[in-house]
Chains A and B, each alone.
Chain A
Amino acid sequence: MSKPSIYVRVTDRPIEVAAAQEFLSDPSHGAMDLFIGAVRDTHQGKVVSAMTYDVHAPLAQRVLEEICQEARMRWPETRYYVVHFQGDLKVGETSILIGVGSAHRAEAFEACRHVIEEVKKRAPVWKREHYLDGLSAWLPGHSLAQDQRRARVGGVVLAGGKSSRMGQNKALMPYRGKPLVAHMSDLLRQAGCDDVFVGGGVPGIDSLADAEPFCGPARAMTDLLRRFAGRYDRLAFVPVDMPLLEVEALRCLIRFGVGACFEGYPLPAVLETGEVPGASSVRDLLVGAGARVLPLSPAWERGMVNINTKREWEALAS
């Protein structure tokens, strides 16, 4: 069995470098980069004696894991050991340890730097500095509210196809007690979209009719990217017929920060709104829009399946 690639903890015990080295030890890796953050003795001209680290531990655990998973998408085959301290520390003591193992040194350095920068911006951790004169102060930080306000992402379920191989409208086929289109809309919401729309006229469902029906998803996507410019920063597109799609995969694309898709799969995709070059296929559209191509985690591969025929649908239902 292969070793896990990510270890993340919030701890109130002293952080040990040896544990990171042991976890990251890997015969296929020729590089290990360790970042150690420690309490400094001065800050803005004041003499610091100690620091209190306040942490929302369950959320921090999730955020740290997310950061490592995202880094692993960007630098495949890398491994991560991240431990953040919670509680009181004296000057010189370790507050965070980030270890990255990789085949070569470049990825280890880059990924390690990426993780600490993301931790500083995203992890729910707060520092209270204690000064030699007996006073103390909570340090200012990065507002997660501003992050939320900055990026607005609209979700679109692409449901404008003819469903000719299925012989009936796929969008309306029942899946887990609701129409498939509603299930796909739920996935977009769970992944963090601010609003969700259905693209393509679906009878009985509140949907955005394509400007020119049955011209293919690339045309519909191009029109919506133009139409929603100014209202959303990015649009997340999913096909209506991918019910097993993992929410985490979708969240990864949405959180990536710029347009992105997975290697080998034109959809789902997240694209920045605005004018994009006309394209005859979704693949061409992704290239024209400058979408980043991310490696797909093996855990998410099972969900990347389109259901096109009755036989595939029955296999899914069984």
Chain B
Amino acid sequence: MKSLAITVRFFGAFREYGRSIDLSLPAGSTVRDVRQALGDALSLSDPALVYDSVFSDDQVILDDGAVLSDNALLSILPPVCGG
């Protein structure tokens, strides 16, 4: 079965884990699957953080059900506090 190469860039508290992570997921995977895979791959000190975060591309925040394409470049956005 073909797999997808997904890169997730880190921001905010996720910076503790580096700049980004490369994941390999089955074809047809959704943003929800990335969330699960990321939670499994990182030993988060606060496991809820991944569920309080959203994923985006450079344009919009992605719905959890959005289906991913190969070589997708995503960002994980933890809770924001600008200003």
Contacts and interface: CB of A to CB of B under 8 A. Distances in A.
Same complex for A and B? Answer: yes
Interface of A: 37, 54-56, 58-60, 62, 84, 95-96, 116, 119-128, 138-146, 148, 194
A276 B80 CA distance: 36
A125 B59 contact: no
B15 interface: yes
Interface string B22-66: 000000000000000000000000000001111010111101100
Contacts of B64: 148
28 contacts: A54-B11, A58-B58, A59-B77, A84-B83, A96-B82, A120-B80, A122-B80, A124-B75, A125-B83, A126-B12, A126-B13, A138-B78, A140-B79, A141-B12, A141-B78, A141-B79, A142-B79, A142-B81, A143-B79, A144-B53, A144-B54, A144-B61, A144-B77, A145-B51, A145-B54, A146-B52, A148-B61, A148-B64
Interface residues of B, number: 23
B73 to A, nearest CB: 11
Contacts of B63: 148, 194
Contacts of A138: 12-13, 15, 78
A145 B78 CA distance: 9
A62 B57 CA distance: 12
Nearest to A84: B82
Given A59-B75, A84-B82, A120-B81, A148 B54 contact: yes
Contacts of B81: 120, 125-127, 139-142
A273 B78 CA distance: 30
